[in-house]
Amino acid sequence: MDDPTTVSNQRNQSAPETPRLNLPARMSDSSVYLENLPSRTMHINRLINSNYNGSPSRTIYSDRFIPSRSGSNFALFDISNSPTSAEGKEDGSGTYNSLLRAALFGPYTPDKKDSLGSPACRNIFRYKTETKRSLHSLSPFGLDESVPGIIHSPVKAPRKVPRSPYKVLDAPALQDDFYLNLVDWSSNNVLAVGLGNCVYLWNACSSKVTKLCDLGIDDSVCSVGWAQRGTHLAVGTSNGKVQIWDASRCRRIRTMEGHRLRVGALAWSSSLLSSGSRDKSILQRDIRVQDDFASKLSGHKSEVCGLKWSYDNRELASGGNDNKLFVWNQHSTQPVLKYCDHTAAVKAIAWSPHLHGLLASGGGTADRCIRFWNTTTNAHLSCMDTGSQVCNLVWSKNVNELVSTHGYSQNQIIVWRYPTMSKLATLTGHTYRVLYLAISPDGQTIVTGAGDETLRFWNVFPSPKSQVNDTCGVQAI
């Protein structure tokens, strides 16, 4: 007679093996075997076992997987819950892990020790009802203030430029002549303006007006230019002479000749003064020596109406009514660079104080373009069609922006951001061409002049980051 135990073992060996499911480790097999299910499912179990030849090495997988936080194995990501090490010191990898955990699983991620004992309170993938997203939502860490190590900085609002001048002064007899340069602002905060045959000084600190000189009925002022430091003012006249005045004492120091026609452009480089004339020439004058001029620069075929020295005093840019822009060095009598892309007179010239060799120039009515050049590599960088005659250009010393003033046909003032050349502001108010432009010594304010015989003061640029002024600001007027 067979042993009952042997018979039972034989039956167990001959019975087909019940297929196993791939389950999480914390779930017991006994809780899901088909034999333990209610009797209503036993028929399904018999059908499965009757046609299935099980393989001991084969594992049955689920047809789909619905994840939950409680079943997630965070140890796979090697994410630690504590940002500090065992010694109590701050651990950089711990901070990184905290950020990574919050970025991957959200701010409500359970810890590893809690994931086994508590049910999931939130799914990894879930529907969100909000549709509008702020700029901060583009960050991989969102706007969760609870995330350690993240400092959220607010998005800066665009800088607002006042659309109206804060001061308007009458300027009777201010000439409506594109080729003249009749306004300049000194480093001592004094504005010089040529009105007819006279030069007037306006002190921005005290608003005091002083008449500096009167050239008489047979002469007129064509240009004014302050020395970079001190109180010396150069005055170009219609008779082709250049006068040097000491503004602090209202005294003329000397008169220099050399030009045959009017002097419409002046530019200082330390003690060297450059003058451009309708006679097509540029004269280099050293006011320390007795001679009227040290050298003569020839190249333009028409009146010279724009002159600017670079900030390092190594290059001189000149523009003329021949539509040419030339660049000279300290010792050349012929231009070292020639730019012929403009199709109208080039009066507007400005060197960038931020990048060595960056030069901007503007063309007249038939051109209307602002062009940018790299004089170091001799490259034409870009061109912007403004739609109006470009009369003047000036760069901000505080930010990488510039201002242009315009004539036909809109008489506007435009503040540009460089290098994108996006418009920050368009200022209007002048009823004639805005032919004259100067910037205050603190770099925040510009003054514009036009044939409508007004001077208008605008706050267009921000203050420098660290600014120490020994003189009063224009805003105190």
Burial of 13 from C-beta contacts in 10 A (0-12 / 13-18 / 19+): exposed
Burial of 14 from C-beta contacts in 10 A (0-12 / 13-18 / 19+): exposed
Give the number of other CB atoms < 10 A from CB of residue 462.
14
Is the per-residue pLDDT at 393 higher than 50? yes
270: left (phi over 0), alpha (psi -120 to 50) or beta: left
CA angle 63/66/69 to nearest 5° reads 150
Q: How far is CA 341 from CA 373, 380, 404, in A?
A: 11, 9, 19
Query: Domain 179-298, what fold?
Result: Methylamine Dehydrogenase; Chain H (2.130.10)
Look at residue 466 in the predicted model and tell me its pLDDT.
41
Residue with the bigger pLDDT between 475 and 375: it is: 375
Kind plus residue range of the DSSP H or E element containing 169: strand 167-170
Choose among 398, 314, 409, 327: nearest CA to 360: 327
Instruction: Answer for the pair 345, 364: CB distance below 8 angstroms, yes or no.
Output: yes
CA angle 26/31/34 to nearest 5° reads 135
Q: State phi, psi for 11 to the nearest 5 degrees.
A: -65, -40
Average pLDDT over residues 127-146: 46
User: How high is the mean pLDDT of the chain?
Assistant: 80
The b/e string for 37-74 (b: 16+ C-beta within 10 A; e otherwise) is: eeeeeeeeeeeeeeeeeeeeeeeeeeeeeeeebbebeb
Do the two domains 179-298 and 345-470 of this chain adopt the same fold?
yes
Residue indicated by tokens 């030849």:
53
Residue with the bigger pLDDT between 138 and 467: it is: 138
At 152, is the pLDDT very low, low, confident or very high (cuts 50, 70, 90)?
low
The half-sphere exposure of 392 on its side-chain side, counting CA atoms within 13 A, is 29
Average pLDDT over residues 155-164: 82
Look at residue 110 in the predicted model and tell me its pLDDT.
56
Question: Mind listing the pLDDT tens digit for each residue in 424-473?
Answer: 999 999 999 999 999 999 999 999 999 999 999 999 999 886 444 444 44
The half-sphere exposure of 62 on its side-chain side, counting CA atoms within 13 A, is 7
Choose among 35, 61, 57, 30: nearest CA to 48: 35
Instruction: Answer for the pair 83, 96: CB distance below 8 angstroms, yes or no.
Output: no
Question: Mind listing the pLDDT tens digit for each residue in 294-335?
Answer: 999 999 999 999 999 999 999 999 999 999 999 999 888 999
Look at residue 109 in the predicted model and tell me its pLDDT.
57
Instruction: Answer for the pair 286, 330: CB distance below 8 angstroms, yes or no.
Output: no
Look at residue 20 in the predicted model and tell me its pLDDT.
54
Provide the percentage of residues in the chain whose pLDDT is more than 70.
67
CA distance 429 to 288: 43
Choose among 32, 78, 166, 112: nearest CA to 460: 166
Question: Mind listing the pLDDT tens digit for each residue in 58-77?
Answer: 555 556 655 555 555 655 55
Average pLDDT over residues 171-189: 97
Average pLDDT over residues 103-126: 54
Q: Residue 351: CB partners within 8 Å, gap ≥ 6?
A: 308, 309, 310, 311, 315, 317, 358, 359, 360, 395
Look at residue 158 in the predicted model and tell me its pLDDT.
74
Residue with the bigger pLDDT between 117 and 97: it is: 97
CA distance 426 to 424: 7
Average pLDDT over residues 45-52: 50
Is the per-residue pLDDT at 85 higher than 60? no
Look at residue 96 in the predicted model and tell me its pLDDT.
78
Is the per-residue pLDDT at 210 higher than 90? yes
Look at residue 390 in the predicted model and tell me its pLDDT.
97
Q: Residue 235: CB partners within 8 Å, gap ≥ 6?
A: 194, 199, 213, 215, 221, 223, 224, 242, 243, 244, 245
Look at residue 76 in the predicted model and tell me its pLDDT.
58
Looking at domain 345-470, its CATH architecture is 7 Propeller (2.130)
Instruction: Answer for the pair 402, 378: CB distance below 8 angstroms, yes or no.
Output: no
Domain ranges of the chain: 179-298, 345-470
CA distance 207 to 193: 14
